Amino acid sequence: MTLDKVHQYIENLFTSRSEIAEEMAQFAKENDVPIMEPSGIETLLQLLRIQQPQRILEIGTAIGYSAVRMAEALPEAEIVSIERDSERARLAKKFVLKSGFHKQIHLLEGDALEISDQVAGFGDFDAVFIDAAKSQNIRFFELYEPLFSASACIYTDNVLFKGLVAEQSGTESRNVKQMLRKLDRFNQWIADHEEYHTVILPVGDGLSISKKK
């Protein structure tokens, strides 16, 4: 059985989503908005259920899909989510309000590299989910590291980028090649980090999980 068939089999087992999550996923599909792949989001949610963080920071809201899914899975957690694109931030506010989790999810509009002082007002974070500009993963990590709690787990999505980080075909565009180099640099950097234990799971588009030693 090929790896693709294994992934498809697993994804077919987890097709149940709430009405609002289905609506958001359909909107994302119809409007080419990137959201986590089914196996990726289900893995993230299960890890968060095990961890039970009290406060979560999400870098890269998009339309709020993952934030809503996290709120559904962890009704006691406070979620702070950052989005720099004004239209996506507007849509996220609309969907979060419709979901009923608007008191649990705090949406901040702005560049995550520029509003760390504002984020710091919420306190330390037990879980951090990085799902924004892939070339900035190291900068996101280092900038927000002072806000990680002592037991924090950091989850980073898209670290394998359709498998191209491990095996490039040679036909990628210049921009894609540059991004792949930066993703590989992040993977090597976090794997060698002296202060964190890290694993990368080949689920969804590649999910990195780092925990303070």
Residue 163 has a pLDDT of 79
Does the annotation list 158 as a binding residue? yes
Please tell me whether 111 is known to bind a ligand: yes
pLDDT of the residue at 171: 57
117 is in an annotated binding site: no
Structure-model confidence comparison of residues 192 and 13, the more confident one: 192
Determine if residue 92 is labeled as part of a ligand binding site: no
Token pair belonging to 172: 């990628």
In this predicted structure, the answer to whether residue 41 has a pLDDT above a threshold of 70 is: yes
> How far is Cα 47 from Cα 72, in angstroms, rounded to an integer?
14
Domains and CATH numbers, the chain: 3-212 (3.40.50.150)
Cα separations (Å) of 71 from 42, 43, 58, 111, 135? 13, 15, 12, 23, 27
Q: pLDDT (tens digit, 9 = 90+) per residue, 84-122? A: 999 999 999 999 999 999 999 999 999 999 999 999 999
What is the pLDDT of the chain when averaged over all its residues? 92
Percent of the chain with pLDDT over 70: 96
CB 129 within 8 A of CB 58: yes
| pLDDT tens digits along 155-213 | 999 999 877 887 765 656 778 888 889 999 999 999 999 999 999 999 888 999 999 98
Among 140, 162, 169, 179, CA closest to 59: 140
Residue whose entry in the numeric block shows the structure tokens 């780092």: 210
* Residue 112 labeled ligand binder: yes
Q: Is 66 assigned a ligand-binding role in the annotation?
A: yes
Q: Which amino acid is at 162?
A: K
- In this prediction, residues 11-15 reach a mean pLDDT of 73
